[in-house]
Copies of this chain bind each other. A is one copy, B any other.
Amino acid sequence: MAPRGSYAKGIAKREEILNTALDIVARVGYSRTTVRELAQAVGLSQPGLLHYFGTKEQLFIEILRRRDQVDEAEYSPATRTADGPPDLFGGVTSLVDHNAQVPGLVQLYSRFSSEATEESHPAHEYFRDRYATARAGGAAAIREQQEAGTLPASLDADRLAVLMFALIDGLQSQWMYDSEIDMADQLAYFRALLTGETTCAETDLPSAGRGKSSPKMPGSGES
């Protein structure tokens, strides 16, 4: 169990590499992050680094896994040490707020996931599983909240989980092209829709209370 000698050193070096890589990618993004650069940052040659991960793709999969690990500990309501019901929207909102601080990681995720779309891509399975796990965890959290009464029982947990993660991905895409997009605000609005805060009992009142333009909604003035 307690790794000894050079084995422990290898583990430690791996850790160092992943942590450093996370920092670098968060800043400079995926496009400009080459294996060579990451190697340099931890005092290794390019083949020296690849020694630990085999290929570039494996390296980046590990970087993403590490990120998941860190984020999950911080933001996943579904996994936290249970005392009350989870808070899916709270967790997701802190997550997107955090992500807005690490644009490079958002880009890495976006680029890598779109590349790994191809079934032959080494990271394909990683993303497939990640989505499935996220949906399952999200749906479970929703059900718990429904039982606890913090979300309407009428909601379809499975469908809502799909919508939820679709929304996160999609908001990030728009945000990358326009940082004025307020992801947390949008999620809050989505949440409000779910709990029927403004929807009920006015379904066909034509044009009442219009002209209230929402804050932080850019890009409405184009052709």
Binding site for B on A (CB under 8 A): 29, 31, 107, 110-111, 113-115, 117-118, 124, 127-129, 131-133, 135-136, 139, 143, 146-149, 152-156, 158-163, 165-171, 173-174, 176-178, 181, 185-186, 189-190, 193-196, 198-210, 212-214, 217-223
Contacts and interface: CB of A to CB of B under 8 A. Distances in A.
A3 B165 CA distance: 50
A132 B178 contact: yes
Contact of A219 (B136, B154, B156, B210): B136
A108 to B, nearest CB: 10
B202 A152 contact: yes
Q: How many copies does the complex hold?
A: 2
Contacts of A131: 174, 177-178, 219
Contacts of A189: 156, 159-160, 163
29 contacts: A31-B118, A110-B117, A111-B114, A111-B117, A124-B177, A128-B177, A132-B220, A139-B217, A139-B220, A147-B207, A152-B202, A152-B205, A153-B207, A155-B198, A156-B214, A158-B213, A159-B214, A160-B189, A163-B189, A165-B174, A166-B167, A166-B186, A169-B169, A170-B171, A195-B199, A195-B203, A196-B203, A199-B199, A200-B201
